[in-house]
Amino acid sequence: MTIYTGPVFEMAAKQFETIADYIEIPADERARLLYPKRAITVSCPIHRDDGSIAVFQGYRVQHHLTLGPTKGGTRFSLSVDMGEVAALAIWMSWKCALAGLPYGGAKGGITVDPSSLSPHELEALSRRYMQEMIPFVGPQIDVMAPDMGTNEQVMAWFMDTYSMYQGKTVTEIVTGKPVASGGTVGRREATGRGVVHLAMRAAERAGIAALGATAIVQGFGNVGSVAALELAERGVKVVGVSDHTACYYDPRGLDVPALVAYAAQHRVLAGFSTEALWDPATLLAQRCDILVPAAMERVIDAAMAARLQCRVLAEGANGPTTPDADRVLEQRPEITVIPDILCNAGGVVVSYFEWVQDLQQFFWEEDEVNRRLRQVLDKAFDRTFARVSRDKVGERTAAMAIGVERVRDAKRTRGLFP
């Protein structure tokens, strides 16, 4: 399986081996659980605004089809390659299984810096990528969603392109769409909202009151900005935030609504203020109660794990903590880790609600969406921490084991065809 390479895939494979050892999966069952069922790569040509033709590489990995269609985000970033997409698809599988959703994991993306494209080029590339994927996706086969570098508008273009080829509107082909185009209320906020709901539950367990607690959020996109705002609304003092253009830290607390308004207008944090500018390399290591990495993978390595001064590590991003860092954190019981597959599951949970609503053409009120979101997350949280206590294992090991076991049980009962 040499097409899956690179540090992110190695990380997902290493994590899986740890779980497989812990729950004693026989050697000959492991490859079937770990390796993706399908991996698709496409070349996407577009006309640039100057009339020239540019070709971009696109990917989609569908990890397993055992529990239903696959489900997962689409990432537009220069880091995207087959290994990264495969790792993200694998994590989606464990995440969906932990939350009890009837999905396998998928992930896709294009190797591109979306900020280097004009609006017209971005639309052309989004539409061409979906068009190339039509033979491989479908509402009962593989359902896309947004991820880093994509948003509601990109999902609307995906849905429209797919629908044009079907000759009818098929809203259930993607989730994370604008509400006006068959999206659900509460989806845009769902991931950040879920992160904060679970961070509060972990804080409560650790005896930390929301009012007066402090937080740092890395990444100020969909997940990070909503998480920062939700934290502030609950009385938590947000003392540090960053994106790829700027980093601010002030122990007296930052004005989160003003930061959110600035980012909504300028799309970046750079230029917000000349005060409180901070070195991004040391932001995560500052003292706080709740630390939310919500940007990218592998930002907490073993050295950073040793320097953390938080009490709750709420992983908004996928894969922010390396396996070596996990070993360090297992020796630091004063830090409660809410692992990514649990912490950021709010996004896929409400994506599932969106898919269900689209299939039924029956739409819920936002309080219904939020109530059901909390219900699903609370159940996954309780099961994870019960397992931590029972087996004396780390939080990531517990959460992943529950996910892997569900997929494994389904594969076992379905058997191996033919």
Residues with a catalytic annotation lie at 107
- Under the criterion CB under 6 A, does residue 110 sit at the interface with ligand NAD? no
- Under the criterion CB under 6 A, does residue 240 sit at the interface with ligand NAD? no
CB of 22 to ligand NAD, least distance (A): 24
Pick between residue 317 and residue 376 the one whose CB is nearest to ligand NAD.
317
Pick between residue 25 and residue 246 the one whose CB is nearest to ligand NAD.
246
Choose, by CB under 6 A, the member of 171, 286, 318, 336 that binds ligand NAD.
Answer: 318
CB of 50 to ligand NAD, least distance (A): 26
Dist. CA 414–CA 392, nearest whole Å: 31
CB of 226 to ligand NAD, least distance (A): 8
CB of 315 to ligand NAD, least distance (A): 9
- Under the criterion CB under 6 A, does residue 117 sit at the interface with ligand NAD? no
Provide the CA 359 distance to its chain's centre, in angstroms: 24
CB of 389 to ligand NAD, least distance (A): 26
Amino acid 104 reads G
Choose, by CB under 6 A, the member of 58, 69, 109, 316 that binds ligand NAD.
Answer: 316
Choose, by CB under 6 A, the member of 16, 56, 129, 220 that binds ligand NAD.
Answer: 220
How many residues sit in the footprint of ligand NAD (CB under 6 A)? Answer: 24
Give the residue nearest to ligand NAD (CB): 221
Amino acid 255 reads D
Dist. CA 36–CA 62, nearest whole Å: 6
Choose, by CB under 6 A, the member of 36, 69, 72, 146 that binds ligand NAD.
Answer: 146
Beta-bridge mates of residue 57: 43
Residues 148-187 that bind ligand NAD (CB under 6 A): 148-149
Closest CA to 248 of 276, 226, 289: 276
Handedness of CA 78, 346, 234, 329 (dihedral sign): negative
Dist. CA 94–CA 187, nearest whole Å: 21
Q: Where do runs of H (alpha helix) occur along 267-330? A: 280-283, 302-307, 323-330
Dist. CA 355–CA 184, nearest whole Å: 9
Pick between residue 297 and residue 395 the one whose CB is nearest to ligand NAD.
297
Amino acid 126 reads S
- Under the criterion CB under 6 A, does residue 243 sit at the interface with ligand NAD? yes
Stretch that binds ligand NAD, among 78-86, 199-207, 216-224, 359-367 (CB under 6 A): 216-224
- Under the criterion CB under 6 A, does residue 310 sit at the interface with ligand NAD? no
CB of 339 to ligand NAD, least distance (A): 12
Q: Which 8-state DSSP code applies to residue 5?
A: -
- Under the criterion CB under 6 A, does residue 322 sit at the interface with ligand NAD? no
- Return the SS3 of 81: coil
Q: Where do runs of H (alpha helix) occur along 100-238? A: 119-133, 152-166, 187-205, 222-233
Q: At what angle do helices 256-266 and 222-233 cross, to 10 degrees?
A: 160
Pick between residue 78 and residue 134 the one whose CB is nearest to ligand NAD.
78
Residues 268-307 vs ligand NAD: string with x where CB under 6 A?
Answer: ------------x-------------xxx-----------
Is 168:182 a contact under the CB 8 Å cutoff? Answer: no
Q: Which residue reads 């995440």 in tokens?
A: 95
CB of 179 to ligand NAD, least distance (A): 15
- Rounded to the nearest 5°, which phi and psi values hold at 342? -95, -50
Pick between residue 143 and residue 393 the one whose CB is nearest to ligand NAD.
143
Angle at 414 between CA 411 and CA 415, to 5 degrees: 80
Q: Which element (helix H / strand E) includes 62?
A: strand 53-62
Give contact residues for ligand NAD (rule: CB under 6 A).
Answer: 146-149, 191, 218-224, 242-244, 280, 294-296, 316-318, 344, 347
